[in-house]
Amino acid sequence: MASAPFELKGKSVYVAGHRGMVGSALVRRLEREDVRLVTVTRGEVDLCNQAAVFDWFAKVRPQVIFLAAAKVGGIVANDTLRAEFIYDNIAIAANVIQAAHQNGAEKLMFLGSSCIYPKLAPQPLREDSVLTGPLEPTNEPYAIAKIAGIKMVEAYRSQYGCDFISVMPTNLYGPGDNYHPEMSHVVAALIRRFHEAKVSGAKNVVVWGTGTPRREFLYVDDMADACVHLMKTYSSPELVNIGTGEDIAIAEFARVVADIVGYSGEISFDTSRPDGTPRKLLDVSRLAKLGWRATTSLRDGLKRAYAAYQVEAPGAAQR
C-alpha cells in the first residue's frame, strides 16, 4: 500500500460524478493540479451497471479515483425513493471500488455523508460513533448504502492492501446544487423559495419543519479543497469528517439566506413537515490535526451560491 504523502502530479485522476455539485467542484479544484483528469458521463457508463463499469476501468485504468457519484437528495427524496437510494448507492460503491482494485488503482477516496451516524449519537459527531446506534429513519436506506461503501473501503484496505480512504462530508451547498422544489437539500430549497418570493412580491415564505434543528453547512469548493488535501496527505482506515465544526438553527439560517437573497417578508414554519435529526454537527478535530480547515464564511458561501443559482436554475434570471 502506498503511504502518505501521495503524489498526484502526472497521474490520471478519475472524478466519478463530475457533473454533480461535488464532482464539478473537484474538477475546478483539480485544474490547479498537474494531473490528467478523466471523466465519463452516465450516458456512456452507468455506474450501476457492473459490466459497463468493469469494461471502462479495464480500458482506462485511472490511477486515482474520487468517488463522488451517488444518488443524492433532500429529506423527501430520501424518504420516498428509498429503494432507489439503497440500490443505486450500493451498486455504485460496489462496482467502482471493485473495479478500482481489479485494475490496480493507486488510490481511491470514497465520499460518505454525515447521515451515516446514529440519529442520537453524541454531538459533535465523532468518526468512531458510526454503527453505535439506530439511524435517522428518513434516510436509513441511503445511510446503509454509504456504510456499505465505507466497509468496502476498510475491507479492501485490510485484505488487498488497497490505499482506499473514506471521508464524511457535512451538508454541502454551492454552484451545481439541485434546485428541484421537492427533491433538493435545504440550502438550495431556501435560496429558491426566497428568490421566488422576492420576485413575485410574496409576503410570506414557508420553511419546512419547526426551524429548531441545527445543521452545519460547508461551501462545496472548500469541500473539494479538503478532498484534494486528504488525497495527498491521508492514508488510514479511519474515516475523516469534513465540515466547518459550526452549526446554526434552521430558523436563523433561513433569516441569513433571506437577507442574502434580499427577501424582506415574513418567514413561517410548516411543522407538519419532518424535521429530520435534531442536530447534526461534525467533530472536525481529526481534519484539523491533518492540517485543513474551512475558509469560506457562511455569508460569503451563500452569496456565491445565490449568484450561481441565478445563472443555473432554469428561468431564475427571468423570475
Ligand X SMILES: NC(=O)c1ccc[n+]([C@@H]2O[C@H](COP(=O)([O-])OP(=O)(O)OC[C@H]3O[C@@H](n4cnc5c(N)ncnc54)[C@H](OP(=O)(O)O)[C@@H]3O)[C@@H](O)[C@H]2O)c1
HSE-CB for 87 with a 13 A CA cutoff: 7
- Identify which of residues 69 and 281 has a Cβ nearer to ligand X in the complex: 69
Measured from the CB atom, the residue of 142 and 156 that comes closer to ligand X is 142
Smallest gap, in angstroms, from Cβ of residue 167 to ligand X?
9
Q: Check the annotation: does 23 bind a ligand.
A: yes
Q: Which of 149, 112, 118 is nearest to 136 (CA)?
A: 118
Question: Among candidates 238, 239, 243, 224, which has minimal Cα distance to 281?
Answer: 243
Annotated binding-site residue? 208: yes
Smallest gap, in angstroms, from Cβ of residue 146 to ligand X? 6
- 289 labelled binding-site residue: no
**What is the binding site for ligand X (CB under 6 A)?**
17, 19-23, 42, 46-48, 68-72, 88, 92, 111, 113, 169, 171-172, 176, 178, 185
Q: Find, among 289, 291, 225, 295, the residue nearest to 66 by Cα.
A: 225
Which residue type, as a one-letter code, is found at position 292? W
State whether residue 294 is helix, strand or coil: coil
* SS3 labels along 187-199: HHHHHHHHHHHHH
Contact partners, residue 34, CB within 8 Å, separation at least 6? 8, 9, 10
Geometric angle at alpha carbon 177, from 175 and 180, rounded to 5°: 140
Whole-number minimum distance, CB 259 to ligand X, in Å? 22
Closest CA to 130 of 109, 151, 111, 156: 151
61 in a labelled binding site = no
Give the helix/strand (H/E) hosting 22.
helix 21-30
- Is 174 annotated in a binding site? The answer is no
Q: Nearer to ligand X by C-beta: 109 or 197?
A: 109
For the chain, the C-alpha Rg in angstroms (whole number) is 19
Query: 30 or 111, CB closer to ligand X?
Result: 111
C-beta of 19: minimal distance to ligand X in Å? Answer: 3
235 known member of a binding site: no
Nearest residue to ligand X, scored by beta-carbon proximity: 20
Residues tagged active-site:
142
Q: What is each CA distance from 301 to 44, 68, 220, 241, 297, in whole angstroms?
A: 33, 21, 9, 20, 6
Closest approach of Cβ 47 to ligand X, in Å? Answer: 4
- If the CB atoms of residues 197 and 306 are measured against ligand X, the closer one turns out to be 306
Show binding-site residues: 17-23, 111-114, 146, 169-172, 185, 193, 208, 215, 275
Binding-site positions for NADP(+): 17-23, 111-114, 146, 169-172, 185
Binding positions for substrate: 193, 208, 215, 275
